[in-house]
Structure 1
Amino acid sequence: MTISPATLSDPAVGAFVAAVNAHDRNAFLALLTPDASMSDDGSDRDLADWIDREIFDSGGHMDVQKESDGGHSLVVNYRNDTWGEMRTAWRFTVTPAGRISRFETGQA
C-alpha cells in the first residue's frame, strides 16, 4: 500500500516526496537549507549533480511504502528511467524551521 505524500508525518518530507513526483526542481530546492547535503549508499555526493541525474533528468518517482521515526525515515519503491524500480531507504534531517538539511538514500 502506497502512502500519500500529504499524509506523511513530517510536512517537509511530504513536500519533498511531492516535489520529486511532480518533477518540480524549484519546489524541491526550496525545501532544502542552503548548505544541504546528501549521500547515496553511504557515500556523500554532489547534491545538484545527483538530483539532476537521479531525479529530475531521469523521471524519478517515489512510492512510499513505510514511514518511521516521526516521518524522517521512509522505505520507498523508487523508480527512474536509468535504473528502473528498486526498494530504497531514505532518511531525512529536518531543521526546526522545517527545511531539510540532509537526506540519505540507499538500497533497502
Structure 2
Amino acid sequence: MAQQPTDPVVRDFVAAINAGDRAAFDALLAGDATMSDDGTDRDLAAWVDKEIFSADGRMAVESEEDGGRELVATFTNSTWGAMRTRWRFTVRDGRITRFDTGQA
C-alpha cells in the first residue's frame, strides 16, 4: 500500500505528479533546481515533460528515509510501465533544489 512522505514538500511533489498538476509541481522547484536520472544529470524541464507529464507519470511510495527526503517508490508511466525507483531530494527554504532518481 502506498504511503505519504513525511516531508511536506516531498509529499506535495508526489501529490502534484499523481494529480498531473504541472503548475503545482513547478511551484515546488527552486528556480535553479537540478536533477539526475540513474546518476546522469539531465535537463530538468525536458526530463519532467518526457518522463512525467507527457507520459502520465505516477508514484506509489513504498518506503522513506531521512525524514521523507529519500523514497523508494513504484514509478509508472506510459513509456516504461512500472519500475521500482529511488528518489532523493534536497530541499531549501521550502523548495526542491535537486532531486536524484534511478532504478532501485
Letter of the aligned partner of 1:22 in structure 2? A
Which residue pairs with 1:3 in the alignment? Answer: 3
Structure 1 stretches of 4+ with a deviation exceeding 2 A read: none
Which residue pairs with 1:103 in the alignment? Answer: 99
Query: What is the alpha-carbon distance in structure 2 between the residues aligned to residue 65 and residue 10 of structure 1?
Result: 15
Which residue pairs with 1:47 in the alignment? Answer: 44
Query: What is the alpha-carbon distance in structure 2 between the residues aligned to residue 78 and residue 9 of structure 1?
Result: 18
> 1:1-108 to 2 correspondence within 5 Å?
1-4=1-4, 8-95=5-92, 97-108=93-104
C-alpha offsets along residues 16-45 of structure 1, whole Å, 9 cap, x if unaligned? 000000011110000000000000000000
Q: Which consecutive residues of structure 1, in runs of 5 or more, have no partner in the other structure?
A: none
Shift of 1:9: 1.3
Q: How many residues align?
A: 104
Query: What is the alpha-carbon distance in structure 2 between the residues aligned to residue 81 and residue 2 of structure 1?
Result: 20
RMSD of the alignment, in Å?
0.6
Shift of 1:59: 0.2
TM-score when normalising by structure 2? 0.98
Query: What is the alpha-carbon distance in structure 2 between the residues aligned to residue 72 and residue 2 of structure 1?
Result: 16
Partner SS for 1:64: strand
Q: Which consecutive residues of structure 2, in runs of 5 or more, have no partner in the other structure?
A: none
Shift of 1:77: 0.4
Query: What is the alpha-carbon distance in structure 2 between the residues aligned to residue 9 and residue 86 of structure 1?
Result: 22
Query: What is the alpha-carbon distance in structure 2 between the residues aligned to residue 39 and residue 67 of structure 1?
Result: 19
